[in-house]
Structure formats: C-alpha cells, structure tokens
C-alpha cells in the first residue's frame, strides 16, 4: 500500500457498528467489553438482553401481574425478553456471543444460532475449557476467540481502515 | 450486574423505534398510546393507517372521482389505504396490534398476520373477553397484553438499557 | 391461438396445487369446496387448520394436560394449532380465504395477511355484505370472489392449459 | 364438521414431513421418538446430526488425518458435522429439539435458534426441571412439550386431516 | 474431458425444467417453441398465461358476472390472469420472454422484470428491429437471442450434460 | 378521532420517501411530478433513470469507446443504465411508473415488474386509452391512477399523518 | 447410541443430493469424483458447467452466429454458460468447488462465492500448495479438504444415517 | 427534457454510495480509484478488505497468538479477514471488483460472486488480456470496464441526476 499520508484524507473514517452482546447476564463481561472498545477509541451502539438479572426474571409479572405458577411466570417473562431480543437483532451488524465459566447459557447458544441463520456476522468468545463442547459453534462462527480483549481487537480490525 | 454508575456512560442511549399501530380508527386508542409513551419519555416514530375515518373511506373517490357503485368505491379507497400500509410497514421496527371492544377489526388481524410473516416483532393488545377468539394470534405474537399501559411498559423495557 | 388439436399433446397436463383453506371451522364450506373442485376434475392437496372444532379447542390440554385456567388452556391449544398452520403454509401454492356469515374469523384474516406477506397467492371469498369491512383484504388479495363456485372456477382457470 | 364419510375421500391423505431431530447424541431418544411415530402410523423422513458419538468426534481426523492438537481436531470434526447439519436443515419441514437431563447441549440450543431464524417450525421438548433455563426458547418455539410422547402427538395432529 | 463412454452411465440424465413462456397470446409462438423442444427430445413442463385470447379477456366477467363498464371488466379479468401468473411463476425454473412484431406487449416486459427481480433465470427473444427499444432488458436478461430456434438451442445446452 | 390539537404534537412529522420515477425520458413528466409534490409541501428523494435522453443512449460508448455496431453500442449503454437502475431501486420506498402517450415504454413495464417482485410498493399512472393494454399491471400495482395530480395526492395521503 | 440393529429399519434411507461441481473443465476431475461416489454406493444428481471445453467456448457463436471480435464472442458464450450455471445452482443442495493445479480458475472462485452468499453448503477441495492463496475461501467454506477422496468421504458422511 | 434550470432545484442532490472495493491489496489501485472519484467531486464511503498486506496476513496470530503451522496460521487470519468482509458487504450499495495484472486474485472473484448472489450491483474492472478468463464474470456483472477511470465515470453517471 502506498503511504496513506499521501493520498488518503487525514481523518480516516471508521464504521460505527451496532453490536449485539449475547451471553449471560450475571457477570459484568459486557461492561468490560464496552470498556475495551472505548479504550481503543471505538464507538458503537450496544444491543442485547436486559442486563439486570432480577428485572429480566420479573418482567413478565411486572407487566402482566401474577401468573398461575412458575412455568407461566417464566413464559411471560421470556416473551418480553424475546420481544426485546428480536427487535434488537434487527438492528445488529455484528453479534458477539460470549460463553463464560458457569450457568447453562442456552440463550447464548440460541442467539448465536439465530445470528448464523439470519446472516449476521458472529464472533464467538469462549475459554479453552469449552473448546470441545462448543466446537460446532466454533465452526459456524465467523471468528472464535478466547478473551474479550481478542474480540475487541477483532472489532478494531474490521471497523478501521 | 455491576453498579452501572461505575462503568457505563451517564447518558444511557435508548433505541428510537418506528412503531406501526394496527387497529381500528374509530376510537382514540392511538392518541392514548402515544401519550403513554411520551409520559415515559420514550420517543418513537408512529406509523399506521389513516386515522381520520371519513377520509379513509372517501380517499378512493377523492383521488379518482366517483366510482360505479359501493364495491368499487370501497376497492379504490382500499387500494390507497393498502398502499399506505405497505409503505409504512417497510419502515416498522415493531407492530402494536390493538383489538378494542367493537367493530369487525379484520384489518387489525390481517396487519398482525402480515407482521408475523414479514418477521416484524408483534405486540398484541386485547382485553380478557377476546382471549378465546384471538388465541392463535396470541400464540403468533411475541407478546400479548391486556392494556395499552402494559404495551407501553413493554416498549419501555425493550428500548432502554 | 392455433387449433390446439394440431400441435398440443392430447392429454394436456394440469398443475396439481397444494391449496391452504383458511376460514372458520364450524360450517362445511371446505367439504363443499373440495367437492366443487372434484366435480371439475381438479386434483389438489388440501391443507388447512384442524377441521374438528372440538378437537381444535381441546388439543392443548389433550397433549399437555390440564392448564391453569382458560387463558393458558387456550394459549396451549393455539400453539399446537399455529404449529400446524405454519407447517402447512410452507407447502401451500395458493391460499383460499373464505369469510362466511358469522363468527369473528380473526384467524381467517390473520392467515390471509400471512399469505400476502409471504408472497403466497391469495383468493378471497366473501359475500356482498362484507364488501366494506373486507375492502382492504380485497385490495391485498390477488382475486376476490363472492362464492365458492367462483373460487373453484378460478382454480380451474389457473391449473389448466 | 359434517360427517366426513359423506363427502371426504375414504383414504384421507396425510402430510409426510421431513423432521430434523436436534439434540444430544448420547442417549437413544431419537430411536424412541421414531418408534413413537411409527407406532402412530406416521411416516416421515428423519434428518439430524450423526448419531454415532464416537464417529461424530472422530470424523475430522478420519477424513483429513491427524490435526495439530485437540482444538483443531475438534474444529475439523465440527466442520464436517456442521456441513451435515446445514445440508439437512435445508430439507427440514419441522425441527424437534429435545433437551435431556445431562450434557451441555449447546448444539441443541444453537440448532433451535437456527430453526427459529430460518423460519422452520420448532417443537421444543424439555422436562420440568429445565423450564426456567429454557424459558426464552420456550417463548421462541411454536410449541413446547415435556415428553417425546407429547411431541409425537403434536406431529400426529399436524400431519393428519 | 475423458471419453464419456468410459466412466459415465450410458443414459446421461437431463434436467427437466419448468419453463414459463412470457409473451403475447395472439400468435402461435408457444406451439412452435414447444415443437422445437420436442423435436430436440427435451421434456419440460410449460407454464404461462392463458393462451386463448378471448377467454383471457372474458375471464373476469365469466367468473364474476357483468361489471360496471370496461375498466372494471378489464381489472377483474386481469386479477384472474395475474393470479394465474403468480402461481405459475412460483414453479418456474426459467422464463423465456418472447417479443414478436406487433401488439404492445407490456405484460411481456413486466413478466420479464418480475423474473429478474425474483431471481428466475431469463432468456429474452427479440428480433433485430427491437434491439434498441429492448436494450435494457437485453442487459438484464441472462441471454438474449433473436429466434425461437436459438432459444431452444440454449435450453438444450443447459439441460443436457 | 379525537381533536388532534388536544394530544398530538403541533408539528406532525411526515415520512420522507425515496421515490423511483419509472417511465420514458422524452417528456418532462418527472419535472411536473416533482413540482406537484413540492407544491404540496412534500419533500422526497427522487430516484430514476438518466433523464437526458441523448446521454442515456450514448453512455456506453462515452465510457467504453466505440463498439462494433449498433447492437453492442446499445448493450453497453444499457449495462450502464441498468447498473444505475439497480442501485437506485435498492433505495426506493415507492415506485411511480408513468405511461405516457407514445414510445414503446418497455423499460417502464419492466421496472414496474421488478418493483412488484421486489416487494416495493407501486403506483401506476396511465391514461384511459391504456386501460386495456395495462390491465394486468393495474391488477399488480398497489394503486392505479390516471394523472400525475392523482399520484401526487396519493403520495400526500401516505406520507402525512 | 443403542445398537441400531434393534430399533432402526434394515434399509436405512440415505439422502439423494443434487451436487453442483464447480471447477475447471480441462481435466477429468468430475469423472473421478462421480466414480468415487458411485464406488461408495452414493446416488446423486450431478450439476455443473458444460464439461466439453471446446463447446463451452464456442456456444455463443454456435447459437447466435459470428460476433464482432473476440470480446463479444466470449461475452455471448459466457451468457449461455452463466444461464446454465444459474439454472443449475437453483437445484443444488451442495456445491463442491475443486481447485486443481493449473488454469486461472476464476469461475471456480466466483461459483464458490455465489454458493456462500446464496446459503448453499460448500465443500472446498484444494491441494496444500494453494492453502495461502485460498485461505479466505477456506474460512468461508463449510469444509475444506485436499483430495477428491476426502470430499467423497464427506458426502458419504452427510448422506448416510 | 425541459431545461432543468426552470423547475429543478439549483443544487441537484447526488446519491452518496457505500462502495466495496474488491481486489488485490498489493498495488495502490484503491487509492487511485478514490482519487478519481474525489477528482469528480463524488463523495462515497469506501469499504473493503484490510489494505495493509502484512497486517492482513498476520492478523490471525496477532489476535490469537502463534498457531500450529502455516495452514492454521492462514485459516485464523482468514477468519478475521472474512469477518471484516461480511460486515462490510452488508453495508455495500455497490461492489467494484478490480483484477490487475498479477497475483491469483481468487478472493476478488469470490467477492464478485458473493455480490452477484447477494443482489449487490457489481462493476467489473479488467484489462483486455483477461477478457477470456473473466468472460463469465463479465456476463454476471452489471457492467464491465477496462480502466479505473471508466469505473469512476460509471459511478459518476449513477450518482448524479
């Protein structure tokens, strides 16, 4: 490539992505990821599930009132949560699906599957211990990394000229 | 979740949705719903059918002149109305379909069906008396509520971090 | 056109369509429509909702057991019914949506809306009394007729060379 | 409905579906499900992942030879497996996703997510103990049941007139 | 290529296409094209508009009864015709759009445009005199030829190994 | 509807559409249509073919140099023109296809067909003399009018609350 | 997994795929691949470009007559070839793209790119020498192998229960 | 066309496209193309692969650390690169694919194939020496030119009224 200072404008523009952050809502991984991008000077719109775990569990009855038993309490809460997910995914340019070291995280896998089938590019984040259990999602993802720092580096690489 | 005041920016951004309001155009439910969102500080673009019922019925002949008899007067009016609906639905991030207590409301059901098939997230609003007659639309919708206040709470939940 | 006996094969082939019959399940209109096609020598695969009304209402609890109250009894039944509808609509080459003279028929309208949005050709059948209330579905449909005989004539026209 | 013996043909046709069976490949749940359908006289084409667990794990190195270390052994095996899954899902009219009582089952969740986003109807099978962890997939599925017998009943309901 | 008699089966299979024949319905070009394919031993399913011109014009009133004036007589006839076209185009693997030397042929152009936008491969047939007027359709088509014999040769080329 | 001055904001927002103007490029109908919208206070982005007829015919050789004969001169010009059309149609919220009283206008019909198949709402403008020849496009369009004033009224109706 | 001889039917059915064979048409790799599948008892429909290289180059002028110079001779031949490719790709369940050791093979890469974007599963075959030059296609493919035998093994794996 | 100074606004707006620049990343053709557009006063957003060739080759190991051997070093680098390509292509209104006089350029052909299948308009740039080898891509592209100046002229033509 020619010296970019010759022909390119001084202020190289960067893409501003809308990134859906799929993963559990118990730990603070989203805050850490947002900080990692901010620390690299990357602006983005962050989408994702409700991050307040208590509110996420209660939202069905909070809106609709007490339901008859735990199954319908859960179903109604989940309907509000999936409404949110479907609206947010329509905006997403990129899904970052992060598996951490505990919880079932079936929503993370389902969101990743939805991204693949909907043609939304997918970055998978998972530690070495999950290599085998997540090998098919590794193959389906566009990129698989082990840490949030690596995911942030990848986002930097794709948004900067 | 960590205390959001630690790491999140002070001014948490919110999604600004384009919401198609499907339902009858005789009562003032759209105004009440817009007020409920405004009262919660939610900005949105509102889409939907022509809300002036007389104009909605007359628009075919108003544009094209007198037609031969009521069937073609109705068909031409409806062609203008469906042109509007199709253009608006292309912009919609969310459809709120509200069934009230009278009128046939077949357009409401048809619009809801279109939203489902087009992959546009759908919130159904219907009172308890219509639970049985609308049970399949309940199952097709992402969320079903009984009041406009509940629908506004759901919109608040999905647009706010 | 030249005399077809000159150049066309003697046995002109006809398309064998899969037709989804949307409409209420209380009257025998589907049987009458199937007879009308059979009487014209038209073979087709017929798709549609469960036609046994009692079974349609009971199917949720029949499969899943008693649910807590009528709303969830209805929702679970409806989930089975919409599963059926979604599977059948994927096979449909044509939807015939028939509005008769009673019942709410919101499912008929929702199915018609789904057909329109999914790009499945749609024939609407409705008597003169419903011209005004169904004028937008008239504009969205490919063809609107008043009787099942007329609908059968239209199917004959499109399946025969 | 009228007495079907009056107007319907004697041999009522039934849909023959292609059903993708998503779930773990350690237990014999697919054999039991196939038996349940066969016992109800339902013919279907069954699709799904490789059911021989050892072969599923080995297939990458079996085709490509030894890879450098477990991560790439897993990735290459997974690429063959996801190739299979993608080909099979293109044929599927219905996905039955079954969660059993052990293993991580992230592939099950990812396959279910793909079915939802690809518009393939989805039946979720999960025991009561997983109601909470799978509540969002419950809301996304067309139907959720607790046992394979219930799933077989649902398939019977949608394939029979 | 190796001598195909060595390794290939003796009876090389050929694709059996469904071909939509777009064009005017006044002359016998479809019969000639069907004969040209038959003469080359090519079997195909032929789709297209109603070829009986009188029936095509009358079909609206034939099904629905007399309409109020020529515009609505034409519109209702056209609704039946476009219902047929939409059903047939869903089956088409290939559209052959033939412009002859007279008539307005706006339907031919509209059908060709629909094929392009729907991703259905398109062969355009037009004589030299129309090169300029049809230059954009020439650019949009996959192939443009001047005679039906050439179109038949192209079909032979794509269906035979 | 309630008095809008009570609850609606004073400045009712209007949709700002991107409108593709399909039709011949010899007369000044686009300027007249743009004036009609401007006169109604409607802002829009106008898309469409190159309106300078000479440039439209010359553009292939202007870019690529002299081609061997009229057919390839036309084809190369048309390739540039259809590149433009395809880029513009991707932006269009609405297609207005206007048939005037002369020229072949096959591009107009092809563009209208593309709009229909691509799901872009379509308004057809044609004088009474073309009712019969354009009856199928009348049936495919969302709305058919006879004058540009009527088309402008329809645009006003769908963009204004 | 249970012993399959207990519960599975004796004659396990296998998927019969339509496989598009993308690659150069100078060597006999397709015959070898077809033999490899036949030797494994796998029946498939084989799709792909014209394998007679001379015919592939001549087909444009063979159908349309002599063109003015090599560029248009090539363009017209290519239009017939791409017509064939587009028709065949619509039938394909799987694309096997094979890069051999000479020729430019840009069509192979373009066909592979089309398969990826159209959602058709893709197996890439390339020798070790091309690892670097084809690394992005390796990442886009569902599976990458080095020999036709390996590709045949993969097809066997995905078509057999 | 009427004198545009009469009715058109003085400042004719132009489309601002997002253009994906597919091609090798060794020479400075992208800088030259950007300069050619800038010299014509055309503003655009430029998308494309990483233009720093060394970084493009190293990015996998730069993010993930040393991989076991060249094949996986290449695959991981390519996964980051294709993640970038997929994100960028979702934004693209137009793809300009430029073949220069050396390198294998299989990525260029694969990107062009993806653009065709994804419905993104495509301009092909290739010198006369590559006419034969690229004849099928010539037929698939919307427009084929020989120089970057010609491509810039085409972009000017489609973005300016």
Report pLDDT digits (tens) over F92-102: 999 999 999 88
Q: Which helix (H) or strand (E) holds D90?
A: helix D70-91
E123 in Cβ contact with E141 (< 8 Å): yes
Q: Select from H75, H107, H138 the Cβ nearest to the Cβ of G78.
A: H138
Answer yes or no: is pLDDT of B90 > 70: yes
Nearest CA in chain A to H48: A161
Q: Which helix (H) or strand (E) holds D21?
A: strand D18-23
E63 in Cβ contact with C150 (< 8 Å): yes
Question: Residue D71's closest CA among A100, A146, A150, A113?
Answer: A146
Structure tokens at G129: 């020498």
Per-residue DSSP letters for F138-160? HHHSSEEESSHHHHHHHHHHHH-
Whether chains E and D touch (3+ CB pairs under 8 A) is answered by no
Q: Rounded CA gap, A137 and A142, in Å?
A: 10
Answer yes or no: is pLDDT of B144 > 50: yes
Chains touching A by CB (3 or more pairs below 8 Å): B, C, D, H
Our measurement of the distance from residue D89's CA atom to the centroid of its chain's CA atoms, rounded to an integer in Å, reads: 10
Structure tokens at H124: 């092909």
Chains touching D by CB (3 or more pairs below 8 Å): A, B, C, G, H
Report pLDDT digits (tens) over G101-153: 888 899 999 999 999 999 999 999 999 999 999 999 999 999 999 999 999 99
Q: Is E31's CB within 8 Å of C143's CB?
A: no
Range scoring the smallest mean pLDDT among A8-17, B100-109, E138-147, G48-57 = A8-17
Q: Select from E105, E110, E139 the Cβ nearest to the Cβ of F79.
A: E139
Q: Select from F142, F154, F161 the Cβ nearest to the Cβ of B63.
A: F154
Answer yes or no: is pLDDT of F134 > 60: yes
Q: Is G63's CB within 8 Å of E6's CB?
A: no
Report pLDDT digits (tens) over D70-123: 999 999 999 999 999 999 999 999 999 999 988 889 999 999 999 999 999 999
- Residues in Cβ contact with E35 at an 8 Å cutoff, skipping those fewer than 6 apart: C7
Q: Select from B6, B8, B158 the Cβ nearest to the Cβ of A84.
A: B158
Q: Is G117's CB within 8 Å of H112's CB?
A: no
Chains touching C by CB (3 or more pairs below 8 Å): A, B, D, E, F
Q: Rounded CA gap, F70 and F57, in Å?
A: 11
SS3 D45: strand
As a whole number, mean pLDDT of residues A96-114 equals 95
| E strand intervals along G71-142 | 94-98, 122-125
As a whole number, mean pLDDT of residues B8-20 equals 68
Q: Select from A4, A144, A157 the Cβ nearest to the Cβ of H84.
A: A157
As a whole number, mean pLDDT of residues C127-136 equals 96
Selected residue of D108, D112, D117, D132 to mutate for chain A interface (largest A Cβ count, 10 A):
D117
Residues of B in CB contact (< 8 Å) with A are 1-2, 4, 6-8, 13, 15, 17, 93-94, 121, 123, 142-146, 150, 153-154, 157-158, 161
Q: Rounded CA gap, G97 and G19, in Å?
A: 10
Range scoring the smallest mean pLDDT among A32-36, C37-41, C99-103, D44-48 = C99-103
Rounded to a whole number of angstroms, the distance from the CA of D4 to the nearest CA of chain A is 38
- What pTM was estimated for this model as a whole? 0.93
Report pLDDT digits (tens) over C104-114: 899 999 999 99
Angle at F117 between CA F112 and CA F119, to 5 degrees: 95
Residues of H in CB contact (< 8 Å) with F are 1-2, 4, 6-8, 13, 15, 17, 93-94, 121, 123, 142-146, 150, 153-154, 157-158, 161
Question: What per-residue confidence (pLDDT) applies to G14?
Answer: 73
Answer yes or no: is pLDDT of E128 > 90: yes
Question: Residue G158's closest CA among G16, G30, G63?
Answer: G16
How many CB pairs below 8 A link B and E? 6
How many CB pairs below 8 A link C and E? 60
Q: Which residues of chain A have a CB within 8 Å of the CB of B2? A: 28, 31
Range scoring the smallest mean pLDDT among A126-130, C47-51, G1-5, G19-23 = G1-5
Q: Select from G15, G121, G161 the Cβ nearest to the Cβ of D83.
A: G121
Q: Is E69's CB within 8 Å of B68's CB?
A: yes
The b/e string for G117-126 (b: 16+ C-beta within 10 A; e otherwise) is bbebbbbbbb
Angle at H100 between CA H99 and CA H106, to 5 degrees: 50
SS3 F135: helix
Question: What per-residue confidence (pLDDT) applies to G135?
Answer: 98
Q: Rounded CA gap, H50 and D2, in Å?
A: 69
Answer yes or no: is pLDDT of F141 > 80: yes
Express as a percent the part of chain F with pLDDT over 70.
Answer: 92
Nearest CA in chain G to F68: G68
Angle at C117 between CA C114 and CA C123, to 5 degrees: 65
* E141: phi then psi, degrees, rounded to nearest 5: -70, 155
Per-residue DSSP letters for chain A? ---HHHHS-SS--B---EEEEEE-SSSSHHHHHHHHHHHTT---EEE-S-S-HHHHHHHHHHHH---SSHHHHHHHHHHHHHHHHHHHHHH-SEEEEE--SSS--HHHHHHHHHHHHHT--EEEE--GGGTTTTHHHHHHSSEEESSHHHHHHHHHHHHB-
Question: What per-residue confidence (pLDDT) applies to F103?
Answer: 82
Rounded to a whole number of angstroms, the distance from the CA of A91 to the nearest CA of chain B is 9
Residues of C in CB contact (< 8 Å) with B are 70-71, 74-75, 77-79, 81-82, 85, 99, 104-118, 128, 131-140
Selected residue of B69, B136, B138 to mutate for chain C interface (largest C Cβ count, 10 A):
B136
Q: Select from B71, B131, B137 the Cβ nearest to the Cβ of C71.
A: B131
Q: Is G79's CB within 8 Å of E144's CB?
A: yes
Q: Angle, nearest 10°, between helix axes B70-91 and B106-118? A: 40
Q: Which residues of chain G have a CB within 8 Å of the CB of E7? A: 28, 31, 34-35
Nearest CA in chain H to A148: H63
E111 in Cβ contact with F109 (< 8 Å): no
Q: Select from A77, A110, A117 the Cβ nearest to the Cβ of D118.
A: A117
Range scoring the smallest mean pLDDT among E9-23, F53-67, H94-108 = E9-23
Answer yes or no: is pLDDT of E69 > 50: yes
pLDDT band at C13 (very low <50, low <70, confident <90, very high): low
Residues of E in CB contact (< 8 Å) with F are 70-71, 74-75, 77-79, 81-82, 85, 99, 104-118, 128, 131-140
Whether chains G and C touch (3+ CB pairs under 8 A) is answered by no
Cβ of E131: how many Cβ atoms within 10 Å?
20
Answer yes or no: is pLDDT of E161 > 90: no
Q: Rounded CA gap, F45 and F55, in Å?
A: 22
A26 in Cβ contact with A103 (< 8 Å): yes
| E strand intervals along chain G | 18-23, 45-47, 94-98, 122-125, 143-145
SS3 C98: strand
Q: Rounded CA gap, G86 and G98, in Å?
A: 18
Answer yes or no: is pLDDT of B3 > 50: no
Answer yes or no: is pLDDT of E35 > 90: yes
Rounded to a whole number of angstroms, the distance from the CA of C79 to the nearest CA of chain B is 5
Q: Rounded CA gap, A78 and B116, in Å?
A: 18
HSE toward the beta carbon, residue H89, CA cutoff 13 A: 28
Question: What per-residue confidence (pLDDT) applies to D13?
Answer: 55
Classify strands D18-23 and E143-145 as parallel, antiparallel or unpaired: unpaired
Question: Residue C95's closest CA among C38, C31, C46?
Answer: C46
SS3 E11: coil
Question: What per-residue confidence (pLDDT) applies to H14?
Answer: 73
Nearest CA in chain D to G6: D31
Q: Is G7's CB within 8 Å of D25's CB?
A: no
Residue with tokens 């952050």: A21
* Length of chain F (residues): 161
HSE toward the beta carbon, residue F105, CA cutoff 13 A: 24
Q: Which residues of chain C have a CB within 8 Å of the CB of D2? A: 28, 31
Beta bridge partners of F144: F124
Question: Residue H30's closest CA among H10, H52, H8?
Answer: H52
Give residue F105's region: left, alpha or beta (phi > 0; psi -120 to 50): left
Question: What per-residue confidence (pLDDT) applies to F4?
Answer: 37
Classify strands E45-47 and E18-23 as parallel, antiparallel or unpaired: parallel
Q: Which residues of chain D have a CB within 8 Å of the CB of G158? A: 80, 83-84, 87-88
Question: What per-residue confidence (pLDDT) applies to F95?
Answer: 98
Answer yes or no: is pLDDT of C26 > 60: yes
Q: Which helix (H) or strand (E) holds F95?
A: strand F94-98
Rounded to a whole number of angstroms, the distance from the CA of D9 to the nearest CA of chain G is 31
Whether chains C and H touch (3+ CB pairs under 8 A) is answered by no
Q: Is F62's CB within 8 Å of H153's CB?
A: yes
Give the neighbor-by-neighbor strand order of the sheet with H18-23: H45-47, H18-23, H94-98, H122-125, H143-145
Q: Is G31's CB within 8 Å of E7's CB?
A: yes
| E strand intervals along chain C | 18-23, 45-47, 94-98, 122-125, 143-145
Q: Which residues of chain E have a CB within 8 Å of the CB of B69? A: 68
Our measurement of the distance from residue E150's CA atom to the centroid of its chain's CA atoms, rounded to an integer in Å, reads: 14
Answer yes or no: is pLDDT of F5 > 80: no
ipTM: 0.90
SS3 F14: coil
């Amino acid at each position: 490539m020619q010296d970019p200072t010759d022909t390119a404008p001084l202020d190289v523009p960067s893409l501003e992505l809308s990134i859906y952050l799929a993963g559990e809502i118990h730990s603070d991984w989203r805050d850490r990821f947002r900080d990692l991008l901010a620390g690299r000077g990357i602006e983005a719109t962050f989408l994702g599930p409700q991050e307040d775990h208590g509110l996420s569990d209660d939202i069905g009855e909070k809106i609709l009132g007490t339901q008859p038993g735990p199954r319908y309490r859960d179903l109604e809460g989940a309907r509000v949560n999936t409404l949110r997910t479907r609206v947010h995914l329509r905006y997403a340019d990129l899904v970052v699906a992060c598996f951490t070291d505990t919880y079932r995280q079936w929503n993370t896998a389902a969101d990743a599957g939805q991204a693949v089938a909907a043609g939304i590019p997918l970055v998978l984040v998972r530690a070495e211990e999950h290599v085998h259990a997540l090998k098919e999602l590794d193959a389906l993802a566009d990129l698989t990394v082990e840490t949030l720092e690596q995911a942030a580096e990848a986002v930097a690489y794709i948004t900067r000229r």
